[in-house]
Structure 1
Amino acid sequence: LPALLRWLLMVSVLAGPGYAYAADSDTMCTTTGGSGTVTLNVPPSVSFAPETAPGPGTVLYTSPPYTIDYQCQYGGFTRPGTALRVAFARLGDLKPLTDALDKAGLKLEIHLSDSSGGGEAVFDHFTGSPDYVGIGSDYISTGNGTQHTGNRTLTIRLKLTVNRKITSGFYVVPPLSSFRLYAHLNKVGSAIQINTTATRIQYVPNCFVQAGLSTNKVDFGSVLTSDIDSSFSLPRTFSIRASADSDPACGKNQLTGPYEGVGSYYLQLPLKVAFLINSGGTPSSDNKAIILKNENNENNGLQLKISDPAGNLVTFNNESASLPEASPANKLGEFHDGIFTVNKQYTATLLPTGKPVKTGKYRTQVTVKVSYY
């Protein structure tokens, strides 16, 4: 057949009954807001005590959920009833990621669930093939024009599993720009670029953080009952310090130097302080004060509050993981950028409760406990 006739026959086949065609430029995924890029801000550090870390095969960490609102459209050839599936894919081999995970003794899985259904997909192919996984329910072609997913929400969770026994040290998963969301498993057209920030996986022995007080006794001296009215306030300052233990057995050699990889990173270890009442008083209803008792174990009409330089009150009798977020005054500071000392001043203030003041000695004992989170 002449060349022109062969070309016309090809067109009639491709555009015949039951088929539709649109240019690859019509194949794309975008966020609901129209952006082509999403950055997942993962925690800058995730810390564990090797003494209590679980054994191989156990899940060590599951991230909070990250969500992406998106929509895709496919403009390639489709037959009516063709099932199309959105693809979550990597770009190239992620050797920096696999190196960091191997050194840390961990395996990473990316768990993907979509609002359209289709069950949960797990991506763990960071090298080799395949380099993608299908997500969500299929969207079915009508065979006419461009096909659309409609608005969807992708939920991403990162899961770290222990591969081998954990020892002291910290490891860096570098920032990644290596995942994309495509309209179909053939990975054509424009896609949503999914980036992640750097994070540190830190195995820090409990003995690594050493803490101390500027004084073991906050002395208010004698207080005259005649001086105590609604405006009475008697402050005393003290400070809490924390530093890295110098004993190599506590991880000094593995934790205080830089991690060299894609750039230099140092341990980033946020610290919290708990104030635990041992004797001489009971916590107020909101745990923001100690209701003091006299030597006869009676409420003596006074209370003790502790505040940070910003005026935030500490919370007593709380060691929970959420404490630093719920109570900023219980944030002590952090080790970062090669700096392994923290010193924070607090003010203990004696105040009236509004109840009658009773004479006699008063004394309260509080344990100050510093730990990382």
Structure 2
Amino acid sequence: MSTFNNNGTIALSFEYKGKRFVLSGLGSYSDTKQLEQVKQTELRIKVDRKANNFPFTDNESVKLFYFPSSEDRQQMIARTIATERRIEKERIDLRPQLIADLQTRLAKRYSASEYSLLNKLESYRAKITDTKEAQAFITSLNNAGKTSNNTVKRYLNCLKAISDVFRDISVDTVEAIKEKPFTREEVALILNWFKSSKYYNHYHDYVMCLFLTGMRTNEVTGLQWKHIDWNTDTLIICSALAKSGTGNEKIRKTTKTGKIRYFPMSNGLLAMMKARYETSNKHPESLVFPSPTGKPIDDHNFTQRIWHKALESLNIEYRTQYNTRHTFISHFLDQTKDFAKCAMLTHGHMTAVGTLMKHYANLVNRIEVPEMF
């Protein structure tokens, strides 16, 4: 490969795979700046040839690629932009279809986790066209800081069920430290706060039921008088009020597990239920715990406006309202050591025993460390 003077102009000649290339008219040979630029490009051509990254077969193509004129450069840029725009337009964004599929799933069976995922997909502004962009969406959930790895894994399992683009993506599960259950003293303080509150005493019985049954929040908000068997003093937990997925409207669904549970009421819970029943309209379809306006309790609004205020007023370490379920399970197992009964009361099936043992075995089999030194 050599650079030479061709009648006062810069020329370049070289061979590649048996073919000779001669490029002329590359600038004035007396212009040191232009000559230096050609020599720099000569080095670039050498590197490309060595890397077998030289697909050209004629002088014109080589000159256009390595020594484009201003007009050539503008045309190349215009073609590149046009190509990129065409490719971008042809890329199919899977996000609208993912949203539609999620809405269909939620219409069949409500899931708080999938409803949350739906909101995140709707607010995500980037496209999801391939695995790389699907990974970017999952990474954005992790980077948000407010979503645990376990929650992201639940989101991912759902997405894998509706789109192959997420199939090869994985999330490392990190075991989270469980919130502390409320103590007996804290439960008493919370119930007394609601009972004596001028503005929120309406919710006392609702909170009491949450603590004394360990029911899921939407099971309690959806409880109707027809779900109480007064002959056996039993709650029949067979449905829940859940968000429809399209707004604040509540629709009746099966329980999370799809199982019917029968919960024998304790004396305190029974007395409270009987007192409420006597002052109600006693209609079987009426809610046991309606809001002050007669509508279903908005659990999100209750948590944000009232529950938070109660704990703050009592100077009790904040825990979510759903902790009432964790509190019931913790105290029940601490006193009875019976995982089978707890599974039937809180989940409605014996397969939940394994789950309970995984999370609550320390309450039954406490390790005592002896004084060794």
TM-score normalized by structure 2?
0.26
Structure of greater relative contact order (alpha carbons < 8 Å, 6+ residues apart): 1
Name which one, 1 or 2, has greater alpha-carbon Rg: 2
Which structure carries more helix by proportion? 2
TM-score normalized by structure 1?
0.26
Which structure carries more strand by proportion? 1
